[in-house]
Chain A
């Protein structure tokens, strides 16, 4: 690339952003050449999203300057950023689920105020669709679309707003490997048409395969900005994490002679006349981790609800140690050794308005060790919580600290401390490391392996293929409520699983 061409699309100079006592970005400086795909990598919490939200006008910097096309800018809101041709696709899509694709795209930039002239804007949108090769029905409701299609709508929104700089925050996290390929092709296409693309990710392979330059961030600071060519996955990883990753310990082989602890036979779940799970059957033995992979929304939710004993309206058999699960009260199951890590931590696993102590006893609040004569035994509870916080290295070690004041990783550690406080027979864990920092991920994975080696049966539901591949003994792929394929860990490859995840056969 020669210098004459490489005008900067935008540039950060010493940008700093502070939230309360946390410095999200400090002294961030880098520039992005126009007409390129620029990667921004870093761990969760490295400040990648924050710096991009500053560019998009959602946050106001506490220091430093931003230059767009060489001119310093100050955005009051995203509105200002949009008018300068900056657009962003957020990690969590910003779409109104009850409105149609077309309505979502024109929202805020309606062609006419008093008579929304459908034809006009629809022709324009069809043109954009053709030009960039999108396939999505403009009259479909957002809630009826797949995640991949919703992402197309998000990008359509940017193009309709004539965005020249497109920021994508973790766009591949929710996609299948095949969908990722399509997205990457599309982004290259956009670049060739002269757009600038900023691609935020922590998936190194994607970054390496199609960005021109990459900015590496750690702890809110820029480590380095450099051309991608010449980098390798391991050199990038080291710069990102700042140290080498620990390898997982070697583990015992599964004892296939033992009879299954959890056995699921022809499980079918229906909701509003739609089959959410059909004829799902599998067994889990003691000391075995079953990984359930798949794109979000293919029946994982329903399966986890059944296993957590929250959904009891299903056909087929779900037996724990030979006894039908739904005939037991959740409380009894917990005493028998059912441990759960629900997918949505803030809504399902913890009560954020409770303190750590209250969250620690949640679900076990009738246990004899905590209650006598119908009254809580505070000193005993306090002692139990304190020692658990010690064992699970939760910070701060304050039983009365409000749950909402903990980081995602520490919240998840409290959940594990609670669920692992008694012997575990069956662990149902869904998305156990979502929104958790790398240190805590390692900790959580190690605990899972430890429980497995102690003889627990584990069902791990995750959309992170890497996690599934790392932990599972056996892998099942859910697609449209059916088991599309299954194999042992040693026979699994990303390509194979990806094929199953999109409904392909092998």
Chain B
């Protein structure tokens, strides 16, 4: 009963947030002296053309992974702000295995790539988990700091020892040919034309379903959620809170690490400095919007993929705004979802004529 009214309030708030975010977007466009309908043009291009949809799905794929990564930790009562660093480490894993076995055939190379991305991402996640479980360090600060460290490590490697000597760009050596994830256009979906959307999208969807099953139908997932809701009650019930904490971060790291499937194995076929346009942070927004529901994350990732692609489009179409507009819209969306009472507060305050509530 109360759960139902809360859900209604949340949905209202999310929908209201979307509308408010779009209004704010058009408002910003208008202030910049741009035609406000451009926003809608850019957004509809991103969905209703094969080319646009291809890019949208390409951006949505990593967001599924990072969204799941954040959600698994959330379900265990932990805040993973470290997906950004974990995804760079995962990408590094792919690069390393490819340098080790450059001539592996696709049938072996693709799983190898996935495994090593998972391995390095998982290890990087484990650091935060172990520090939290064994030393009580706050995971938010730890993961933020780890992001910087991961970024510097990967940048160093791709700029010095693993640099591609044939180009001046800040890029690593290329992957072995077998490591490439097939593009969707290559497997018969010609509607996607030359866009980089690739088969890692299917891996992402399958992963979401696996995570859903894990959380909902297994004792292991039950323990994880139990720890997330109440670590004290879980401990008394005989659940090892420390172990679940570490495992949650390992799984989160694995999931974030798999972003490399899309951007490294699926598209660039090498690591480019700063290839992630803040996928890790957008993943937080995705998880929040989906209320940490794995299937919901698929849709939320699609929404944010559209937003991201649309904002990029906008930058091409207009010389008056930048693609950072997407961040502002995301922020408003997060606010609307995280604070169902946000709208209520705002309207209540206006109704009372600017006076504090009694």
Taken together as a complex, chains A and B put the C-alpha atoms of A76 and B355 apart, in Å, by: 14
- Contact at A374–B236, with CB atoms within 8 Å? no
| Contact present for A405 and B218 (CB under 8 Å) | no
- Which chain B residues border A329 with CB–CB below 8 Å? 238
A77 to B357, CA, bound (A): 11
CA distance A352 to B233 in the complex (A): 10
Query: What's the least CB distance linking B90 to chain A, in Å?
Result: 27
Nearest-CB distance from B227 to chain A (Å)? Answer: 9
Contact with B along A333-345 (1 / 0, CB 8 A): 1100000101010
Shortest Cβ gap from B77 to chain A (Å) = 10
Chain B residue nearest to A349 in the complex (CB): B233
CA distance A352 to B229 in the complex (A): 8
Interface contact B238-A348, CB-CB below 8 Å: no
- Chain B hits for A350, CB < 8 A: 230, 233
- B309 on interface, CB distance cutoff 8 Å: no
Are A362 and B237 in touch, CB under 8 angstroms?
yes
Among A87-95, A363-371, A455-463, the one that faces the other chain is A363-371
Interface residues of A (CB under 8 A from B): 76-77, 308-310, 329-331, 333-334, 340, 342, 344, 347-354, 358, 361-363, 365-366, 371, 374-376, 402, 404-405
B2 contacts partner chain A, Cβ-Cβ < 8 Å? yes
Q: What CA separation (Å) do A342 and B2 show in the bound complex?
A: 27
A352 touches B218 (CB 8 A): no
Are A330 and B238 interface neighbours, CB within 8 A? Answer: yes
In angstroms, Cα B234 to Cα A375, docked, is 20
Inter-chain contact B230/A331, CB cutoff 8 Å: no
Whether, in the assembled complex, B223 has its beta carbon less than 8 Å from a beta carbon of chain A, the answer is: yes
Question: Which residues of A have CB within 8 Å of B223?
Answer: 365
Contact A405 B1 (CB under 8 A): yes
A309 surroundings in chain B (CB, below 8 A): 238
Q: Which 5 A-B pairs have the closest CB atoms?
A: A330-B238, A363-B237, A353-B229, A365-B219, A351-B230
Cβ contact within 8 Å between A308 and B236: yes
Residues of A within 8 A of B217 (CB): 375-376
Residue A362 contacts which of B218, B220, B226 (CB distance < 8 angstroms)? Answer: B226
Q: Tell me the minimal C-beta distance from A326 to chain B in angstroms.
A: 13
On whether the beta carbons of B229 and A375 are closer than 8 Å, the reply is: no
The chain A residue sitting closest to B230, CB to CB, is A351
CB within 8 Å for A351 and B234 given contacts A362-B226, A405-B1: yes
**What are 24 A-to-B residue pairs whose CB atoms are below 8 Å?**
A77-B358, A309-B238, A310-B235, A329-B238, A330-B238, A340-B236, A342-B233, A344-B232, A348-B233, A350-B233, A351-B226, A351-B229, A352-B229, A353-B230, A361-B222, A362-B237, A363-B239, A365-B223, A371-B219, A374-B220, A375-B217, A375-B218, A376-B219, A376-B222
Instruction: Choose one: A308, A361, A376; the contact of B218 (CB below 8 Å).
Output: A376
Whether B189 sits at the interface, judged by CB under 8 Å, is no
Indicate whether A358 sits within 8 Å of B222 (C-beta atoms), given known contacts A376-B217, A405-B1. yes
Q: Which residues of B contact A331 (CB under 8 A)?
A: 238
Using CB atoms, name the residue of chain A closest to B228.
Answer: A353
Decide if B346 is an interface residue (CB 8 Å cutoff).
no
- CB pair A374–B218 under 8 Å, yes or no, is yes
**Bound complex: CA A331 to CA B325 (Å):** 52
- Point out the residues of chain A lying under 8 angstroms from B232, CB to CB: 344, 347-348
Contact at B236–A310, with CB atoms within 8 Å? Answer: yes
Q: CB distance B236 to A354 under 8 Å?
A: no
Which of B2, B234, B235, B236 has the most chain A CB atoms inside 10 A of its CB?
B236
